[in-house]
Amino acid sequence: LVRLRARLSRSQNALGKGLLTLLSREHLDEDTWEEIEDILLTADVGVAPTQELVERLRERVKVLGTRTPEELRGLLREELLKLVGTDFDRTVNTESALDTPGIVMVVGVNGTGKTTTTGKLARVLVADRKSVVLGAADTFRAAAADQLQTWGERVGARTVRGPEAGDPASVAYDAVKEGIAEGADVVLIDTAGRLHTKTGLMDELGKVKRVVEKHAPLDEVLLVLDATTGQNGLVQARVFAEVVDITGIVLTKLDGTAKGGIVVAVQRELGVPVKLVGLGEGADDLAPFEPEAFVDALIG
């Protein structure tokens, strides 16, 4: 797995640098606090968390009186860490409590990076000496099954697929059955994410979930969100959370945006931690989300 801090620093550290520069001004007047707010809002931190953070910073800076750069950096680091949250369990749960394979379902809107994430995750698991079966239950997007199978061949995981435009639930069913028959360690199920209508999505994902759970409990449901889509991503997140119990978030394309604040916003929205982040299109570009490394990358 790639080192989060090193890979994030280029795109993210505008946020923290900007905050530090403003906090270092001799006179922190109202305009400065507004500029600080603007930086946070532009980074997609969200309104309520921004206000909370600014309030705490105001309070602490007042208590501090004269400020050394080191003190300011330390203070900002602490407050950003609180905002990102250090108490979440961010482990991706791929172990089953039963005698069945661990079952991970990957959901999200098409184009967010679901299939890529599923492939990258398979690679991590295989590197960890786990046997993995991939279920290509995104039967809607024509190329999705081919794309997943290519990933499977690359990383050494078998792909179970069905006919084009076939029933996603039956592919998921076959994948789990196959995983059980083979005694696989983990089954990763890639799903379709067309948000054409909410009921359509609910029916489809709900059915996949029910069918899988007839055989084995779902151990992890990962929602894939594209970090570059900002508030739109939050709307999507809400819709998916109504359909399935999301247990973790994968934030993709963090390499292409300075809007890292979406981590805070989406965790607030769903009450579920960001567990993994996507930092590029390559096989190695998936990293566990580590709050310390993330905040350090922000501050630079």
Binding-site members are 108-115, 190-194, 252-255
Nearest-approach distance from CB 147 to ligand GDP, in angstroms: 6
- CB-nearest residue to ligand GDP: 278
Give the annotated binding-site residues for GTP.
108-115, 190-194, 252-255
The structure tokens listed for 77 are 């680091």
Q: Select from 192, 187, 47, 23 the least CA-distant residue to 107.
A: 192
DSSP structure class, residue 251? E
Nearest-approach distance from CB 76 to ligand GDP, in angstroms: 27
How far, in Å, CA of 127 to CA of 122, rounded?
8
Residues 181-210 that bind ligand GDP (CB under 6 A): none
Name 137's bridge partners.
Answer: 191
Residue type, position 4, single letter? L
Is there a contact between 257 and 242 (Cβ–Cβ < 8 Å)?
no
Q: Which helix (H) or strand (E) holds 31?
A: helix 30-42
Judged by beta carbon, residue 49 or residue 280, the one nearer ligand GDP is: 280
Nearest-approach distance from CB 119 to ligand GDP, in angstroms: 8
Among 110, 131, 150, 170, binds ligand GDP (CB under 6 A): 110
Nearest-approach distance from CB 217 to ligand GDP, in angstroms: 24
Nearest-approach distance from CB 144 to ligand GDP, in angstroms: 6
- 113 phi-psi bin (left φ>0, alpha ψ -120 to 50, beta other): left
Indicate whether 174 belongs to the interface with ligand GDP (CB under 6 A).
no
Estimate to the nearest angstrom the gap between the alpha carbon of 282 and the chain centroid.
16
Binding range to ligand GDP, per CB under 6 A, among 48-56, 179-187, 202-210, 279-287:
279-287
Indicate whether 152 belongs to the interface with ligand GDP (CB under 6 A).
no
How far, in Å, CA of 186 to CA of 126, rounded?
10
Indicate whether 281 belongs to the interface with ligand GDP (CB under 6 A).
yes
- Which residues of this chain interact with ligand GDP, rule CB under 6 A? 108, 110-116, 144, 252-253, 255-256, 278-281, 285
